[in-house]
Amino acid sequence: MIREHLSIQKIFDLKKWEQLQDSLASVTKLAILTVDYKGNPVTSHSQCQSFCKKVRQDENLLPYCQKCDSRGGLEAVRSNKPYIYLCHYDIVDIAVPIIIDDKYIGAVMAGQVRLADPSSALQLEQILTSKNEKLYSSKWEELKNDYADLPSMTYQEIQTISSMLSLLCNYIVEEAMNKNLLAEMFEKASATQSTPQLSEILPGYSLEHIENLKKEMNNFLADAYLNSSGDVDISCGNPVLKPAFEYIFEHKGETFSLKAMADLCHISPSYFSRLFAKETGENFSSYLSRLKMKWAKQLLEATDIPVSQISSELGFNEPGYFIKIFKKYEGTTPAVYRKYYKG
């Protein structure tokens, strides 16, 4: 089970997340708490409102609060999206599920606000009510001033914030998964003498996560290799053109227009073109294509990065166009070049 391997404590840097949670609570005016898949809090309660804090301190009412939290989380998991509901005191709460590969690992619980447009309450489910009217009435009288101090929001505002929290959680989880994946892979692979199976090294991770990480690693490898490779072509005898040459060699993955390079050198495009041809013996476009093909050959020779990714790393929008230019300069396709070079 993924829960055995991918706990929320493992995926989130809880110290940093709690700082972010505090900031979100301050900005949105919502109370926010993060729980694991069992409903146990893994962070402190950010911006907890006085009314709710005092209700939860009542041993007779606390079970109702906990049941609301539990039911809200379950409904969010069932629908696989943020669930907005009314608690037993008609206060709006939100449950934002944290799900990895269709497995629930926890939730962000937010809310403790009143509806500014009470008619919208008809759209929300009150997931729990108490039969002990006497208890509710006495607590209400005791805390009615605290209730009046609860922040109020329109239903539309609450929906917008719940969507934002969901997107933020998903983004953080994906980033954390990719970063944790490589560290765990090396740690587990180095601990065994035999060749381990993927399911043994990375239990709970999908092929999609691995492919995403592989792509990021290839990007890093390409950047590192190109940036560390010595370039004799970077020498430029004309100081006027030096800013353009330096920019081109420091930003190998970008596309460069003649006008942009001329602006960088503080001269007109026509003057830049004449100086450039005199300096290199060829026009700007041809020089740039030849240079990028040189870098492409370096990556084809030294790495196993896919041709499509090399194309992207060197600033080509379409792999087909990259292959066409490569064949024009080298007389063969990138794949064939790599095959013959590596034997």
Of 87, 78, 85, nearest to 159 (Cα)? 85
CATH 3.30.450.20 fits domain 2-178: yes
Tokens representing residue 166 in the block: 């969901």
- The rounded mean pLDDT for the chain is 81
Of 45, 47, 66, 68, nearest to 56 (Cα)? 66
* Residue 241 near residue 277, CB atoms below 8 Å: no
E strands, 163-313, are none
Give the pLDDT band (50/70/90) at residue 296: very high
- Report the interhelical angle of 155-189 vs 207-228 (nearest 10°): 70
Residue ranges per structural domain of the chain: 2-178, 209-342
Eight-state DSSP code of residue 101: T
pLDDT in tens, 92-128: 999 998 887 677 888 899 999 998 888 877 788 887 7
Give the pLDDT band (50/70/90) at residue 51: very high
3-state helix, strand, coil in the chain (%, to 5): 60, 10, 30
Tokens representing residue 9 in the block: 């404590």
Please state whether beta strands 103-115 and 125-126 pair in parallel, antiparallel, or not at all (unpaired). unpaired
pLDDT of residue 83: 92
Average pLDDT over residues 35-53: 87
pLDDT of residue 324: 93
Give the pLDDT band (50/70/90) at residue 317: confident
Please state whether beta strands 103-115 and 92-100 pair in parallel, antiparallel, or not at all (unpaired). antiparallel
Q: Indicate the SS3 state at residue 31.
A: strand
> Which has the higher per-residue pLDDT, 125 or 321?
321
Give the pLDDT band (50/70/90) at residue 3: very low
Tokens representing residue 82 in the block: 């943020």
pLDDT in tens, 202-235: 555 555 655 565 566 566 556 655 665 555 456 6
Please tell me the distance from the alpha carbon of residue 89 to that of residue 113, in angstroms, as a whole number.
11
pLDDT of residue 183: 53
Assigned CATH topology for domain 209-342 = Arc Repressor Mutant, subunit A (1.10.10)
* Alpha carbon 294 to chain centroid, angstroms: 34
Instruction: Tell me, letter by letter, the H, E, C secondary structure of 62-84.
Output: HHHHHHHHHHHHHHHHHHCCCEE
Share of the chain above pLDDT 90, in %: 29
Half-sphere exposure of 159 (CA within 13 A, CB side): 7
Give the pLDDT band (50/70/90) at residue 269: very high
Examine the pLDDT at 175 and tell me if it is beyond 60.
Answer: yes
Beta-ladder partners of 98: 106
Q: Indicate the SS3 state at residue 146.
A: helix
pLDDT in tens, 226-245: 665 555 456 678 999 999 99
> Which has the higher per-residue pLDDT, 270 or 170?
270
Enclosing H/E stretch for 173: helix 155-189
pTM above 0.95, yes or no: no
Please tell me the distance from the alpha carbon of residue 32 to that of residue 25, in angstroms, as a whole number.
6
Other Cβ atoms within 10 Å of 48 Cβ, number: 15
Amino acid at 272: F
